[in-house]
């Protein structure tokens, strides 16, 4: 039975410690901006502007809160002791990379927060959530616990929502969440096909793997998520990412492909076996035909795709039933990409409009518009059952702008991460935020 549903986008609100630490080997932007001075205030305001513009267009826009950083409990688990100030001083002296990791605001990229399967696809007809273990990177592996708490406090009613634990935190079950998961369907409320794109098979060495950069998502993790979410064979497809693309800096599938409704928009180098992927999706997709929009290397070289983040765009269905591509500003700065976008809109295909968003602060760490959001398709009833306090309204937008202006710094260097005042400022800000959003005590310092 199909029901009317919408797609809500939950953006990560950028945290007060947003900084450039070069923590992500394999992510070109993160490595090339290491030690640059960041502007957390501007980053948070850019994110809010993106949310507001989409909310103004009628999209349901939600917010996921930043996490407590620097995360003192992780340092205590690593043997640091004393007051918070002592601990920060000791870790800064002994291992500044560990300090940077536990201070990262990386939970802003909520495409990596979790994998979400809408109720139209799952065996028990509930919306299923699994926070991603993000085990490939230490700084991200500490996100899933608080992500899980936040998701549970937003989607509480067990009649509608099912929550799973993150998978075991080892590389064999490395899971990067929705960044490697695309849902194709005739409409958000109709049963769909969930496409899981993995970088490597952990237990099958006969399959190719990248040699330069790590594959963060494994086949085994994708299969486990599909099992947990109760996706039968006709609702799931597994496909391998092209290892050569990972070695080129495509660390998540959402850096080279994006899907929405019946459209899959991707670069010709995205997948290892593109024909098999297309025929698997076509055979399982009900009520509509797959529209594959493939971008050729001769039109947009992979280097330009990675530099512009063309595919890290949000592909959204408009109220008229067309599609809108929400691209990062960098797409208009790179000639091949900008020309391609003009031709795409003029081609008469499903993508009828391109909107440009400035998320430069996030882009410098390898996070475009699509990294900043987690998609949750919800029926009208499910939307009514979730916690409404995290949905962006004009009033909440205004309140959050004031909150950012009041609590955030406009400059942050690596040396600042050890400043005990930053920890205090951050906790004060987050304590107030859980009040604004009505989320209850989700942070360790509140418990």
Residue ranges that bind ligand SUG, judged by CB under 6 A: 19-24, 27, 30, 104, 106, 109, 111-112, 137, 140, 179, 252, 254-255, 365-367, 371
CB-nearer residue toward ligand SUG: 265 or 397? 265
CB-nearer residue toward ligand SUG: 132 or 228? 132
Q: How many Cβ atoms are within 10 Å of 403's Cβ, its own excluded?
A: 18
Q: At a CB cut-off of 8 Å and minimum separation 6, what does 442 contact?
A: 65, 146, 149, 150, 153, 434
Place of tokens 């809109």: 345
Show the tokens assigned to 327.
């691209």
What's the min distance (Å) between Cβ of 346 and ligand SUG? Answer: 28
What's the min distance (Å) between Cβ of 253 and ligand SUG? Answer: 8
What's the min distance (Å) between Cβ of 101 and ligand SUG? Answer: 9
Chain centroid offset of residue 286 CA: 27
Say whether 239 sits in a helix, a strand or coil.
strand
CB-nearer residue toward ligand SUG: 20 or 155? 20
Q: At a CB cut-off of 8 Å and minimum separation 6, what does 1 contact?
A: none
CB-nearer residue toward ligand SUG: 189 or 366? 366
Nearest to 63 by CA among 285, 386, 447, 329: 386
Show the tokens assigned to 285.
């997709």
CB-nearer residue toward ligand SUG: 252 or 427? 252
What's the min distance (Å) between Cβ of 305 and ligand SUG? Answer: 13
Show the tokens assigned to 196.
């899981």
CB-nearer residue toward ligand SUG: 30 or 434? 30
N- to C-terminal Cα separation, the chain: 42
What's the min distance (Å) between Cβ of 86 and ligand SUG? Answer: 25
Place of tokens 């230490």: 138
What's the min distance (Å) between Cβ of 365 and ligand SUG? Answer: 4
Beta strands in 46-87 (DSSP E): 61-64
What's the min distance (Å) between Cβ of 440 and ligand SUG? Answer: 27
Say whether 6 sits in a helix, a strand or coil.
strand
**Measured between alpha carbons, how far is residue 155 from residues 126, 129, 148, 151, 438 in Å?**
11, 9, 10, 6, 13
The angle that helices 420-437 and 84-94 make with each other, rounded to 10 degrees, is: 120
- Give the side-chain half-sphere CA count within 13 A for 176: 27
CB-nearer residue toward ligand SUG: 120 or 327? 327
What is the set of active-site residues?
Answer: 176, 252, 371
> Using only C-alpha atoms, what is the Rg of the chain?
21
Sort 94 into a burial class: Cβ within 10 Å, 0-12 / 13-18 / 19+.
Answer: exposed
């Amino acid at each position: 039975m199909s029901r009317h549903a919408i797609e809500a986008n939950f953006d990560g609100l950028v945290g007060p410690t947003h900084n450039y630490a070069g923590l992500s080997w394999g992510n070109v932007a993160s490595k090339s901006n290491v030690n640059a001075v960041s502007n957390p205030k501007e980053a948070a305001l850019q994110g809010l502007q993106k949310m507001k513009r989409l909310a103004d267009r009628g999209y349901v826009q939600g917010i996921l809160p930043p996490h407590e950083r620097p995360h003192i409990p992780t340092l205590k688990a690593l043997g640091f002791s004393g007051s918070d100030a002592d601990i920060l001083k000791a870790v800064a002296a002994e291992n500044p990379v560990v300090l940077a990791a536990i201070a990262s605001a990386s939970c802003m990229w909520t495409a990596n927060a979790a994998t979400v399967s809408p109720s139209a696809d799952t065996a028990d007809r509930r919306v299923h959530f699994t926070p991603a273990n993000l085990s490939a990177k230490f700084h991200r592996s500490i996100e899933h616990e608080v992500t899980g708490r936040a998701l549970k406090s937003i989607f509480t009613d067990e009649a509608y929502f099912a929550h799973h634990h993150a998978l075991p935190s080892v590389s064999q079950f490395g899971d990067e969440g929705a960044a490697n998961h695309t849902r194709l369907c005739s409409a958000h409320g109709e049963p769909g096909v969930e496409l899981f794109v993995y970088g490597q098979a952990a237990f099958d060495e006969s399959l190719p793997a990248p040699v330069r950069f790590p594959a963060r998502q494994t086949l085994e993790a994708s299969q486990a998520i599909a099992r947990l979410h109760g996706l039968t064979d006709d609702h799931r497809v597994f496909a391998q990412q092209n290892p050569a693309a990972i070695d080129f800096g495509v660390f998540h599938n959402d850096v080279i492909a994006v899907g929405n409704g019946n459209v899959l928009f991707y670069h010709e180098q995205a997948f290892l076996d593109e024909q098999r992927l297309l025929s698997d999706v076509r055979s399982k997709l009900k009520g509509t035909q797959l529209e594959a929009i493939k971008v050729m290397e001769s039109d947009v070289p992979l280097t330009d795709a990675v530099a512009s983040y063309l595919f890290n765009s949000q592909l959204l269905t408009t109220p008229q039933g067309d599609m809108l591509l929400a691209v990062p500003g960098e797409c208009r700065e790179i000639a091949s990409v900008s020309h391609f976008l003009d031709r795409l809109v003029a081609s008469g295909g499903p993508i009828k409009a391109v909107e440009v968003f400035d998320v430069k602060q996030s882009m410098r760490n390898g996070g475009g518009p699509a990294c900043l959001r987690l998609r949750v398709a919800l029926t009208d009833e499910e939307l009514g059952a979730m916690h409404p306090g995290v949905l962006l309204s004009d009033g909440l937008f205004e309140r959050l702008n004031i909150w950012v202006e009041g609590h955030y710094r406009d400059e942050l260097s690596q040396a600042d991460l050890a400043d005990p005042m930053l920890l205090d400022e951050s906790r004060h800000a987050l304590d107030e935020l859980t009040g604004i959003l009505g989320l209850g005590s989700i942070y360790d310092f509140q418990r």
